[in-house]
């Protein structure tokens, strides 16, 4: 395969051509390493997303926390019968996008950056001529000989919200905050690396109306488990299998990897059962059995970590949430044990926004281990502590999940996954974990 390049993106997106002066950052050149695909951080030398007026550390943390809060609401809203694909609802589009994938769409191919999301089945792309779209770049259907609209009689038309038939094509409308979005359900060839996926179904956005809330400028490509996600539509190519390894925030180049398909996946991986919750069937659930802080297994209320298919409760792995969220009683028990084991014991605990365990100066912190049946995931300080630019303040990068949701969802987020290989193997019903230096 050719290289598929992902970018960690926290706040904004800019055209692909900007910010790629580093000698290893030419996206037009193949940098194959078998099935290994490269990942970059927003602040890496290869990132085109650097802000000309970067936020302060405190402002950035608070903004990310707010985005995470909205995403938790989105994840908790995914109850069977209430969400549909490829664009589920305005609430679904409010999620913060974290990773960006370079995709080639159409014939001849047009390069676009799409947000990749392991918990979404969404596929939507801003199209040329879109009225009110905030994107600087858009897909041009007129320039693609393989593009076609999906007819109203096609089964995919039944999987979008409020479908209507205009000019014999399936179209639909949705809301995003105070704005409304109109799209046609369409198909075209999408190329991820060297793999062409023909007749890929997506929403071609053609109008954004209303004021206030501005929708994300980039498109979205879901890696969830729904029928119109990438993994489902490209099942013959990727066999519903992929893995990723996210590098540490402290890595100089911040380059990690994504591998699509069963080929070239690592062998030294320990597995736990991958669960499917019919209430939130798109998400990747696992059975969290305990949490250890240092050497102490924390006493947790069983109901707060239990997998419950009747309510949608349980624990998921998610690439789009930045900081891990745990049910309030679970978080408080883990946090309290963590504080006891921080050295020096005289360190004063402060707070920053939604983070309630922050310290000034240097502290030594214990590891935290998520314990699953068959595998443990141990996180050292780099996965746990968020450090200010000056290094004078550090915070435990976990928080309690919002209580005003319709059931408990514990979310193992991207910062805690860093420098771990996470392997999703749907055919064999398992999720694999292995410690790996991704930088």
Classify strands 288-293 and 296-297 as parallel, antiparallel or unpaired.
Answer: antiparallel
User: Rounded to whole angstroms, how far apart are CA atoms 75 and 320?
Assistant: 10
Distance, CA of 160 to CA of 86 (rounded, Å):
6
- Burial of residue 237 (CB within 10 Å: 0-12, 13-18, 19+) is middle
What phi and psi values does residue 121 have, to the nearest 5 degrees? -105, 10
HSE at residue 325, side-chain half, CA atoms within 13 A, is 29
Cα four-point dihedral sign 197, 201, 203, 204: positive
252's CB contacts (< 8 A; 6+ apart) are: 439
DSSP string, 305-324: H--BTTTTBEEEE-SS-SSE
- In eight-state DSSP terms, residue 16 is T
Q: Check if the beta carbon of residue 95 is closer than 8 Å to that of residue 71.
A: yes
Which one of the listed residues 68, 117, 356, 425 is annotated catalytic? 117
Q: Which of 188, 318, 356, 425 is catalytic?
A: 318
- Active site (annotated) includes residue 318: yes
Q: How, if at all, do strands 393-396 and 270-273 pair?
A: unpaired
43 part of the active site: no
Distance between CA atoms of 11 and 435, rounded to whole angstroms? 28
**How many other CB atoms sit within 10 Å of the CB of residue 284?**
23
Task: Give the residue numbers annotated as catalytic, written as ranges.
Answer: 117, 318
């Amino acid at each position: 395969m050719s290289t598929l390049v992902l970018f960690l993106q926290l706040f904004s997106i800019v055209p692909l051509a900007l910010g790629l002066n580093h000698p290893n950052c030419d996206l037009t050149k193949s940098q194959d390493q078998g099935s290994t695909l490269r990942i970059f951080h927003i602040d890496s030398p290869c990132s085109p997303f650097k802000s000309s007026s970067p936020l302060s550390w405190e402002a950035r943390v608070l903004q990310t926390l707010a985005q995470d809060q909205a995403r938790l609401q989105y994840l908790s809203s995914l109850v069977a019968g209430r969400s549909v694909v490829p664009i589920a609802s305005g609430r679904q589009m409010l999620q913060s996008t974290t990773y960006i994938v370079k995709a080639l769409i159409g014939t001849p191919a047009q390069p676009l950056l799409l947000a990749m999301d392991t918990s979404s089945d969404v596929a939507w792309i801003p199209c040329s001529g879109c009225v009110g779209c905030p994107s600087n770049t858009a897909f041009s259907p007129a320039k693609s000989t393989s593009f076609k609209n999906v007819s109203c009689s096609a089964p995919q038309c039944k999987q979008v919200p409020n479908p209507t038939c205009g000019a014999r094509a399936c179209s639909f409308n949705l809301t995003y905050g105070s704005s409304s979005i109109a799209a046609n359900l369409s198909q075209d060839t999408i190329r991820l690396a060297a793999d062409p996926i023909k007749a890929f179904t997506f929403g071609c956005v053609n109008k954004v109306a209303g004021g206030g809330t501005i929708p994300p400028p980039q498109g979205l490509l879901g890696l969830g488990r729904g029928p119109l996600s990438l993994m489902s539509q490209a099942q013959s190519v990727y066999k519903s299998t992929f893995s990723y390894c996210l590098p540490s925030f402290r890595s100089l180049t911040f380059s990690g990897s994504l591998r699509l398909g069963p080929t070239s996946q690592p062998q030294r991986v320990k597995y736990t059962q991958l669960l499917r919750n019919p209430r939130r069937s798109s998400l990747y659930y696992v059975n969290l059995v305990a949490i250890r802080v240092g050497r102490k297994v924390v006493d947790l209320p069983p109901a707060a970590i239990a997998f419950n298919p009747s309510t949608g409760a349980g624990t998921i792995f998610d690439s789009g949430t930045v900081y891990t969220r745990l049910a309030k009683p679970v978080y408080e028990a883990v946090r309290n044990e963590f504080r006891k084991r921080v050295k020096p014991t005289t360190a004063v605990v402060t707070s920053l926004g939604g983070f309630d365990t922050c310290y000034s100066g240097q502290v030594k912190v214990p590891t935290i281990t998520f314990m699953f049946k068959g595998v443990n995931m141990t996180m050292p300080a780099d996965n746990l502590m968020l450090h200010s630019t000056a290094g004078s303040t550090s915070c435990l990068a976990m928080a309690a999940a919002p209580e005003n949701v319709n059931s408990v969802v514990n979310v193992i987020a991207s910062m805690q996954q860093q420098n771990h290989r996470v392997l999703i193997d749907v055919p064999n019903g398992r999720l694999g974990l292995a410690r790996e230096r991704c930088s």
